[in-house]
Amino acid sequence: MKQAITVFLALYVFAILQMSFFVHVFPNGLAPNLIILSVVLLSIFERRDSYASFAAALFGGLLLDVFSGGIIGFWSLGLGSASLLIKLVLEDYVRIPILKKF
Amino acid sequence: MLQNFESRDGDYTEVVPPVPIPNTEVKCLKADGSRKARVGSPHLCIQSLSLWPVGLARGDAYLYNMGMRGLVSKRKFAIGTVVVLFLLSLNLISSQVREFVTSVSSPLQVSLWQAGKNISTFFGGGSLRTENEVLRQENFSLMQKVISLQDVESENEELRRMLELGLVEEFRMVMAEVIGKNLGEDVITIRGGQNQGIQKGMPVIASGTIAVGKVVESFSDHARVQLISADAGRTDAQIAGTETTGVVRGEGGQKLMLDLVPQEDELGMGDIVVTSNLGGVFPKNLLIGEITEILKAGADPFQKANVKPFFSLKSLETVFVITSLASPDLLDLRP
């Protein structure tokens, strides 16, 4: 539970950072999308039976939806699907033995 | 001819090919009398009353397994459906959701905005940058005057006086600080909302009378502004000093395209594109951008042109919302 709250808080801070801080720091709008990055990394490194990355994808996507002004659900469902796809591919077709799952 | 095959559990089982035996007539050939056998091709391994296709690649076996238990369980399907419905239903109260999130985030967002600004100023040249910005604004102001003068030249002095007397309206504008930018979708958040008289649909300009966008959502103390360069943005426009009209389409990423310009009209590189009063959102003669590339196709009845917008999303820090806009055909920005 504590871990989930930490992840959700981090995603929230990332979303705000992206909207405010990064606009000034990164030139020409080439700021990294930390939410997408986090979801991808979580999906890669989490345990097989865990769905934390999926939940994080939905929450992070929801934040992107809310801050973007578009249809709510576009980013959440997109990121959620991407997270599940990454897990599916990694579980069944890729083996990275040196990486420790958490 | 006898041949040995390794079974799934690693032991060796004697089989009798090549005479194919129907799967229903699988023989038990093991000495221990267990129910295991492999016969012919394709063959099955029968173990503990379960069927498993032998000789399939791992991917095939996975798909088979998925097929056996269903791609998704009923429980997961139900959860997925609930999540999708929940997310889509949020669109019904999207304004409230966005207002809540924006209000909660506002203090942190403002602090980070200021921090980013300070860091950017520190590393980005400080006073030189400020001076550059001032000169840019001055340049836009001069450009606006040139455009106005071009219009003046093309009209009769008396008519112009009449227009000024009867048609030029005073705007009431609200200055608003930009507190958030979504560079990917060309949307900005400004500090100022319904409490300051800002309503949905109001035009937003930057200093130097540069068209920026329009308010798409207004909350109590914040508003969201969709820039003219946003994907869905459509702005009626004309080439300054001419009668050539067209539509400026947003292409996202702060890119604009002038479209629907008849082939017979002349477009030139560096032509200034301004708003026309046809669209009903912006007053006439607000600066939009400069033509950087003309795209002409022989078969197309219209020509297009890439337009570089005058506003810079990166340096956009203060905007003005026109709160009292009279009938669009009565508005003109000429002095």
Looking at CA atoms only, how far is residue A13 from chain B in angstroms? 9
B178-234: pLDDT as tens digits: 888 887 788 899 988 888 889 988 999 887 678 899 999 888 888 999 999 888 778
Q: Nearest chain A Cα to B101, which residue?
A: A66
The verdict on a CB contact (< 8 Å) between B253 and A29 is yes
The verdict on a CB contact (< 8 Å) between A58 and B108 is no
What is the b/e burial string over A18-45, where b = at least 16 CB atoms within 10 angstroms of the residue's CB?
Answer: bbbbbbbbbeebebebbbbebbbebbbe
Question: How far apart are alpha carbons B9 and A101 in whole angstroms?
Answer: 29
Bin B46: left if φ > 0, else alpha if -120 < ψ < 50, else beta.
Answer: beta
pTM over 0.80: no
- Torsion on CA atoms B313, B315, B318, B321, rounded to nearest 10: -30
Cβ(B323)–Cβ(B198) below 8 Å: yes
Of B63-67, B155-159, B187-191, B323-327, the one with minimum mean pLDDT is: B63-67
With a cut of 70, say whether residue B19 has pLDDT above it: no
Burial of B311 (0-12, 13-18, 19+ CB in 10 A): buried
B263-300: pLDDT as tens digits: 888 888 888 999 987 777 788 888 899 999 888 777 77
Cβ(B233)–Cβ(B250) below 8 Å: yes
Show me where the domains of chain A are located: 2-93
With a cut of 70, say whether residue B42 has pLDDT above it: no
Q: Which two tokens stand for residue B81?
A: 């459906």
Nearest to A72 among B90, B217, B253 (CB): B90
Residues pairing with B321 in the sheet: B174, B204
Nearest to B182 among A19, A28, A76 (CB): A19
What is the b/e burial string over B109-135, where b = at least 16 CB atoms within 10 angstroms of the residue's CB?
Answer: beebbeebbeebeeeeeeeeeeeeeee
Peptide bond before residue B42 is cis, with ω within 30 degrees of 0: yes
Per DSSP, B223 falls in state E
Nearest to A77 among B59, B84, B112 (CB): B84
Higher pLDDT, B324 or B72: B324
pLDDT band, residue B58 (cuts 50/70/90) = very low
The phi, psi pair for A50, rounded to 5°, reads -90, 145
Nearest to B109 among A19, A92, A93 (CB): A19
Interface of chain B toward chain A, CB-CB under 8 angstroms: 58-59, 62, 83-84, 87-88, 90-91, 94, 97-98, 101, 105, 108-110, 112-113, 115-117, 119-120, 179-185, 187, 189, 216-217, 224, 226, 253-254, 313-314
Q: Nearest chain B Cα to A92, which residue?
A: B59
Cβ(B228)–Cβ(B256) below 8 Å: yes
Residues pairing with A6 in the sheet: none
Cβ(B325)–Cβ(B332) below 8 Å: no
**Helix A34-45 and helix A52-68: axis angle, to 10°?**
170
| pLDDT beneath 50, residues of chain A | none
Question: How far apart are alpha carbons A83 and B4 in whole angstroms?
Answer: 44
Q: Among residues A58, A88, A53, which one has the least CA distance to residue B83?
A: A58
Burial of B252 (0-12, 13-18, 19+ CB in 10 A): middle
pLDDT at B169: 52
| B125-330: CATH number | 2.40.10.350
**Residue B62 burial (CB count, 10 A):** 15
pLDDT at B104: 86
Around A23, how many Cα atoms within 13 Å sit in the side-chain half-sphere? 30
Work out whether strand B203-206 and strand B234-239 pair parallel, antiparallel, or are unpaired.
unpaired
B112-162: pLDDT as tens digits: 888 887 777 676 655 666 778 788 888 888 888 887 777 666 655 545 544
Show me where the domains of chain B are located: 3-69, 76-122, 125-330
Question: How far apart are alpha carbons A46 and A68 in whole angstroms?
Answer: 28
One-letter-per-residue 3-state SS of B190-211: EECCHHHCCCCCCEEEECCCEE
Nearest to A69 among B105, B109, B217 (CB): B217
Name residues whose C-beta falls within 8 Å of residue A11's C-beta, 6 or more positions apart in sequence.
A35, A38, A56, A59, A60, A63
Chain A residues with CB under 8 Å of B91 CB are 71-73
Of A15-19, B2-6, B105-109, B220-224, the one with minimum mean pLDDT is: B2-6
